[in-house]
């Protein structure tokens, strides 16, 4: 009886500790607190609003409507896209990103260079196609409307009864 009661108590304590550990397993900070930890390697969490491709293939992962007022952003350089994968799939997902928090133009940011930096959301990111080139400028469009080619005027046809040059001046016999 005492053994049974002791086992129930131990089981209850272990269950409570496991539940508490699961709740505190993520030590990630919200994006609003990222600026307070510049220079440290931290985990930052937030919901991705959109992924935007900038100049020269640099991708920006935005967490706010107004990018300039947002306290945190994630940057993926074109050379890292092959290691990270298709970051466009992160839009709408809540992610956790690990890495050194840096200050760039007054805002905190983390440079995403490996897929292992992502804890949540990375399972849905397929790798980029092998022939994907971010610097290749697209020359593909829905079509161009070109004016029709101008038709060449038809060559005049020679009639057998017409006369040319000196023959017109000559008198007929």
pLDDT (0 to 100) of residue 24: 45
pLDDT (0 to 100) of residue 110: 93
Model confidence pLDDT, tens digit, residues 54-79: 878 899 999 988 878 889 999 999 88
Helix (H, G, I), strand (E, B) or coil at 118: strand
pLDDT (0 to 100) of residue 121: 53
For residue 83, give both structure tokens: 């290691």
For residue 95, give both structure tokens: 């992610």
Q: Are strands 72-76 and 107-111 parallel, antiparallel or unpaired?
A: parallel
pTM of the model: 0.57
For residue 160, give both structure tokens: 């057998």
Q: Please give the sequence-ordered ranges of beta strands (E in DSSP) within the chain, or none if there are none.
A: 29-30, 41-47, 50-53, 59-62, 72-76, 94-100, 102-104, 107-111
pLDDT (0 to 100) of residue 18: 42
Domain range list for the chain: 26-124
Cβ-contact 49, 63 below 8 angstroms: yes
Model confidence pLDDT, tens digit, residues 36-53: 999 999 999 999 999 998
pLDDT (0 to 100) of residue 22: 42
pLDDT (0 to 100) of residue 30: 92
pLDDT (0 to 100) of residue 133: 58
What CA–CA distance (Å, rounded) separates 134 from 151?
A: 42
What CA–CA distance (Å, rounded) separates 150 from 96?
A: 61
Low pLDDT (below 50) residues in the chain: 7, 11-24
DSSP state letter for 171: P
Residue listed under structure tokens 């699961």: 22
Angle at 146 between CA 145 and CA 151, to 5 degrees: 145
Length of the chain: 173
What architecture does CATH give domain 26-124? Answer: Beta Barrel (2.40)
């Amino acid at each position: 009886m005492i053994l049974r009661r002791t086992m129930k108590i131990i089981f209850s304590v272990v269950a409570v500790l496991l539940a508490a550990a699961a709740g505190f397993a993520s030590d990630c900070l919200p994006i609003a607190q990222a600026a307070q930890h510049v220079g440290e390697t931290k985990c930052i969490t937030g919901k991705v609003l959109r992924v935007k491709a900038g100049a020269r293939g640099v991708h920006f992962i935005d967490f706010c409507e107004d990018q300039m007022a947002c306290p945190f952003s994630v940057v993926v350089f074109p050379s890292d896209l092959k290691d990270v994968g298709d970051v466009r799939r992160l839009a709408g997902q809540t992610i956790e990103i690990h890495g050194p928090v840096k200050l760039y133009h007054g805002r905190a940011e983390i440079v995403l260079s490996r897929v292992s930096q992502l804890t949540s959301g990375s399972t849905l990111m397929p790798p980029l196609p092998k022939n994907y080139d971010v610097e290749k400028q697209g020359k593909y469009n829905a079509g161009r409307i070109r004016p029709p080619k101008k038709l060449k005027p038809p060559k005049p046809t020679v009639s057998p009864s017409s006369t040319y040059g000196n023959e017109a001046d000559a008198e007929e016999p």
